[in-house]
Amino acid sequence: MLRGFRSFHPLVLLLYYIAVIAGLMLNQHPIFLTAAFLSIIFVNLILDKGIELNKWKYMIIFLDLFVFVFTPVFNQQGNIVLFELFSRAFYLEAVIQGAMIALTLSGILALFTTFNIVMTPDKFLYLFSKFFPKWALILMLALRFMPLFRKRLADIQDVQEMKGVSMKDGKLRDKAQNGMLFLQILLTYSLEEAMQTADSMSARGYGLQKRSQYKAYRWKSRDWSMLILLFFLSLSTLIGWQSNKTILTLTPELESILLQGYSWFYLLGWFLLISLPIWTEGKEVIKWNFYQREI
Amino acid sequence: MELLSTRNLNFTYPNSSEQALTDINFTVHEGDFVVICGPSGSGKSTLIRLMKQELNLHGTRSGEIYYQETPLEEHNPITLAKDIGMVFQDPENQIVMSNVMDELLFGMENLGFSTNEMRKKTAEIVHYFGFNHLLQQDTSELSGGEKQQINLASVLLLDPKILILDEPTAQLDPIAAKDFMYLLKQLNDELGITIIIVEHRLNELFSLANQIVMLEQGRIKFSQNPRKALSLLAENMTTYLPEASQLYLTFTSSPEISDIPSNVKEAKHWLNGLDITSNQTQQEEQVKPEKPLLELKEIDFSYSKHTKPVLNNLSLTVQDSEWLAILGGNGTGKSTLLKIIAGLLTAQHGKIRYKGKKVKQMNRKFIGYLPQNPKLYFLHETLKDEYDALAEKHGKSETEVQTLVKEFQLEALIDRHPYDLSGGELQRAALVGILIGNPQILLLDEPTKGMDPAFKEEFASIIQTVKHTGVTIIMVTHDVEFAAKHVTRCSMLFQGEVIVTEDTNAFFKDNDYYTTMINRITKDSHVPAVVTVEEAKMSWQMKKVLPSSV
């Protein structure tokens, strides 16, 4: 995808996620949270038709139910008693609290599924290497060694199994012992081989001077506009939270759930913030349909 | 212009009494294509490693190495890292990054290139090599040939003036190796990059190189142009020559230097002037009694439900005490077939008969397996410990082990750590371990990869001794010349199926591409078709020399 939400600079994308997660935790109000959850589902749909979210749906539903049912059981604060069960009061405030926690959790989880789609490992690594270049290099070397180790261990297992030394059958003690032996060869062997890797690194001038970094992602003018937009929308959320307009007061007295006055304004700001991917992706979808019609 | 030269170079490794290199004097000019050859342990790798200062070889050195007429030490290390590029033998171990793009960038990042420079240079090289489709892939998913090309490209991105390569094709299959060589030729011709390459396989290199350096026991035996080198090798190191030259030398009593053919075209030309008949009027029909040891019938195998089957309706019969070679390109299922025979994998469909009895899976006890990398075979600190453990497992007495060790000439090495052995010793050591288990079938997985010609012969004779003890040998290989010389039958694997199994001679005589150089020379010519020099020696009779057609 060369346009759309995913094409923004990884730093902008990261800031978006930080802002939305912070907002989800700050705006503890059923309407704000419901709006957030619904928009995030829509973001999922527009990014990959909900394929990634689908993998997580049972997890999300289960977690929601769990929180929604158990919060009122343990939370004994409130004024309005809904009903009593096994000589335990169930308060309306606690039920609302449970719903809000469940919505926050599912919002964050659903957001993370989009994070997987948008922040691909290379973007993540790019950001990481910007702040910790040395660690990022080590991380990349480690990533390279994973498949190598796996392949070598499989080779060792095959060869040794032909010799009758196996990790699969026999007594547990023998299996464990053989497994340790295999790991031992894997390490000795890999150390030997790593000498060659080291040679190849120094042959290409590793360690002679400070490394430069290939910037795979260019900062474009629309990254600036997006950044400014993000800034103002986050600011509005922050102010709303500061002035208590985006929070439902539960104690000492339950406030009306309905929104009043400025809260509507903050809700709009909040909704615009979350749905940034919808506008940017949606624009592409519309454009695409338009071009197709032209043809 | 003189680019790189050594003057009176000597080198000794620490704790070693012998000099690894003695009195090395040679010069490389700009645009040269230099091949360094010699038997294993002759100091080839040491020599080229000394030319690459960053590798920092431990030991004592005397004499100088000059780059552009200034000693190496006086150059700026960054200039040296850029100007002298190096590609190593193992395609896998040289790769540092998990992603092709990062791997290409690695060297440039080390030397502080700017993003724009990197972008431009990668774009150029990707275009030149034509590997757009590889750019986003993980390096672990590439084939050996592709890996080696990425390694080469990553070095070329630094704009080297000299490219040093340490047996870059030893681990590749013949086709990938040929491609790689021609790529080097292209770099040499089109970009004028000076190339220094260490190689065993001289076949193609004779027509590519303009200087051949022969090392022996740390000394330069000669340093000559290919034509001259051909004649010097002809005197006493014929195993290093292309088969075409070997054939010529076998049938010419007083060879002319300028006539020695080094490729198929030249050899055909030489044969044109000869009249040869076959002296074997009747082929000795050796009808051996059919005694199938192992029969595979209609074997299907795939690694998972949704992937394409690797083996598909495969049938193969292995005769008792034969040496069978399984040939075929990359990805045709050779290793998988070997694993099924070894009993490591179970086929999803098909029948296996062993000694006439139907079995579901092969019993691993009857089978010895020599892996491509014999290092993986050893679990213990010394050979002796390893053999003791194996002897105990298989109920063998110490004297039986002793005889095996003696037979394979390993007495002196018995207390060494396996990793301190040379490649050949390691292979022999692993074979002893396998033979302690009394296998009836011995499986060899690409055993000749990276071997020098002299050692290949030695290895073949070792396997022959094993075979004479009644062990059946099944070998997977790419090495056409080796198979043609030594094995009894050959099978060709194609798209997961054995398409033909024939006696070695018949097999190679039928083939056009997948065959030996000698067969390509003699096929469809006026002389009797043969597959190896040995066969020609036995069956050809030189009648008289026709008046030369030239």
- Residue A215 maps to a domain: no
For residues A23 and A103, membership in a common domain is answered with yes
- CB–CB contact B377 A214 (8 Å): no
- pLDDT tens for A247-274 read 777 777 777 777 777 778 888 888 888 8
Q: What is the largest CA-CA distance in chain A?
A: 79
Among candidate residues A46, A47, A39, the one with its CA nearest the CA of residue A23:
A39
- pLDDT tens for A35-56 read 899 999 988 888 888 888 888 8
- pLDDT tens for A51-104 read 888 888 888 899 989 988 888 888 777 777 778 778 778 888 888 888 889 999
Among candidate residues A196, A21, A247, A192, the one with its CA nearest the CA of residue A119:
A21
When pLDDT is averaged across residues B86-93 and rounded to a whole number, the result is 91
Residue B285 has pLDDT above 60, yes or no: no
**Of residues A161, A199, A209, nearest to B88 (C-beta):** A199
When pLDDT is averaged across residues B150-170 and rounded to a whole number, the result is 93
Predicted local confidence at residue A6, as pLDDT: 84
E-assigned strands of B229-366? 274-278, 292-301, 311-319, 323-327, 349-354, 357-359
- pLDDT tens for A182-194 read 999 999 889 888 8
**Of residues B85, B342, B379, nearest to A185 (C-beta):** B379
- The number of beta carbons lying within 10 Å of the beta carbon of residue B292 is 13
Predicted local confidence at residue B30, as pLDDT: 92
Q: What percent of chain B has pLDDT over 70?
A: 97
The whole-angstrom separation of Cα B124 and Cα A50 is 39
Predicted local confidence at residue A139, as pLDDT: 81
For residues A104 and A249, membership in a common domain is answered with yes
- pLDDT tens for B409-418 read 888 888 988 8
Q: Which residue has the tokens 């913030």?
A: A273
Which of A188, A190, A204 best probes binding to B when mutated, by most B CB atoms within 10 angstroms?
A204
A154's tokens? 């499989």
- pLDDT tens for B422-470 read 878 888 899 999 999 889 999 999 888 878 787 888 899 989 988 998 8
- CB–CB contact B371 A181 (8 Å): no
For residues A168 and A47, membership in a common domain is answered with no
Please answer whether residues B405 and B432 qualify as being in contact, where contact means their C-beta atoms are separated by less than 8 angstroms: yes
Q: Count how many residues are written for chain B.
A: 550
The whole-angstrom separation of Cα B405 and Cα B412 is 10
Q: How far is B141 from chain A (nearest CA, A)?
A: 9
Q: Could you tell me which chain A residue has the CA closest to the CA of B115? A: A214
For residues A85 and A231, membership in a common domain is answered with yes
Among candidate residues B472, B499, B469, B509, the one with its CA nearest the CA of residue B487:
B472
| Total domains in the fold of chain A | 2
Phi/psi for B202 (5° steps) reads -95, -10
Q: Could you tell me which chain B residue has the CA closest to the CA of A144? A: B98
The whole-angstrom separation of Cα B83 and Cα A239 is 59
- Residue A135 maps to a domain: no
For residues A119 and A254, membership in a common domain is answered with yes
- Residue A14 maps to a domain: yes
Handedness of CA B499, B502, B507, B510 (dihedral sign): negative
- Residue A204 maps to a domain: no
| Interchain contact A163–B (C-beta under 8 A) | yes
- Residue A132 maps to a domain: no
Q: What percent of chain A has pLDDT over 90?
A: 13
Predicted local confidence at residue B546, as pLDDT: 52
Helix %, strand %, coil % of chain B (to 5): 40, 25, 35
For residues A22 and A151, membership in a common domain is answered with no
Residue B280 has pLDDT above 70, yes or no: no
Structure confidence at residue A4 as a pLDDT band (50, 70, 90): confident
- Residue A225 maps to a domain: yes
Predicted local confidence at residue B157, as pLDDT: 94
Please answer whether residues B322 and B472 qualify as being in contact, where contact means their C-beta atoms are separated by less than 8 angstroms: yes
What do you get for the CA distance between the two ends of chain A, in Å? 21
Residues B116, B120, B125, CA angle at the centre, nearest 5°?
145
| Interchain contact B513–A (C-beta under 8 A) | no
E-assigned strands of B30-77? 33-37, 60-67, 70-71
Residue A238 has pLDDT above 80, yes or no: yes
Domain hosting residue A112, numbered range: 4-124+221-294
- CB–CB contact B369 A205 (8 Å): no
How far is residue B3 CA from its own chain's centroid?
30
- CB–CB contact B115 A213 (8 Å): yes
- Residue A97 maps to a domain: yes
- CB–CB contact A192 B375 (8 Å): yes
The whole-angstrom separation of Cα B104 and Cα B120 is 12
Of residues B355 and B542, more confidently modeled: B355
Residue B136 has pLDDT above 80, yes or no: yes
Phi/psi for B48 (5° steps) reads -75, -25
Domain finish residue from A197, A212, A233: A197
For residues A31 and A116, membership in a common domain is answered with yes
Chain B partners within 8 Å of A198 (Cβ): none
For residues A11 and A115, membership in a common domain is answered with yes
- CB–CB contact B82 A205 (8 Å): yes
For residues A104 and A245, membership in a common domain is answered with yes
Predicted local confidence at residue B487, as pLDDT: 92
**Of residues A184, A192, A197, nearest to B96 (C-beta):** A197
Burial class of residue A124, CB neighbours in 10 A (0-12, 13-18, 19+) = middle
Residues B246, B251, B254, CA angle at the centre, nearest 5°?
95
- pLDDT tens for B198-255 read 987 777 788 889 999 999 888 999 898 888 888 888 887 788 888 888 888 888 877 7
- CB–CB contact A205 B54 (8 Å): yes
Residue A110 has pLDDT above 80, yes or no: yes
Phi/psi for A226 (5° steps) reads -60, -40
SS3 call for B194: strand
Beta strands B33-37 and B211-216, pairing class: parallel
The whole-angstrom separation of Cα B33 and Cα A177 is 53
The whole-angstrom separation of Cα A260 and Cα A263 is 6
Judged by average pLDDT, the poorest of A128-142, B321-335, B400-414 is A128-142
**Residue B198: strand pairing partners:** B36, B166
When pLDDT is averaged across residues B354-376 and rounded to a whole number, the result is 87
Q: How far is B255 from chain A (nearest CA, A)?
A: 44
For residue B239, what is the DSSP state? G
For residues A152 and A282, membership in a common domain is answered with no
Among candidate residues B460, B468, B471, the one with its CA nearest the CA of residue B435:
B471
- pLDDT tens for B41-73 read 888 889 999 999 888 888 899 999 999 989 988
B-contacting residues of A 188-227, CB under 8 Å?
188-189, 192-194, 196-197, 199-215
- Residue A56 maps to a domain: yes
Q: How far is B264 from chain A (nearest CA, A)?
A: 37
- pLDDT tens for B519-547 read 888 888 888 888 888 888 888 887 655 55
Predicted local confidence at residue B550, as pLDDT: 42
Chain A partners within 8 Å of B158 (Cβ): 204-205
| Interchain contact B86–A (C-beta under 8 A) | yes
Q: Could you give the count of Cα atoms lying within 13 Å of B443 in the half-sphere of its Cβ? A: 26
Please answer whether residues B152 and B431 qualify as being in contact, where contact means their C-beta atoms are separated by less than 8 angstroms: no
Predicted local confidence at residue B281, as pLDDT: 52
Chain A partners within 8 Å of B346 (Cβ): none
Mean pLDDT of chain B: 87
- CB–CB contact A164 B96 (8 Å): no
For residues A153 and A273, membership in a common domain is answered with no
Which of B108, B109, B435 best probes binding to A when mutated, by most A CB atoms within 10 angstroms?
B109
- pLDDT tens for B13-24 read 988 888 889 999
For residues A112 and A16, membership in a common domain is answered with yes
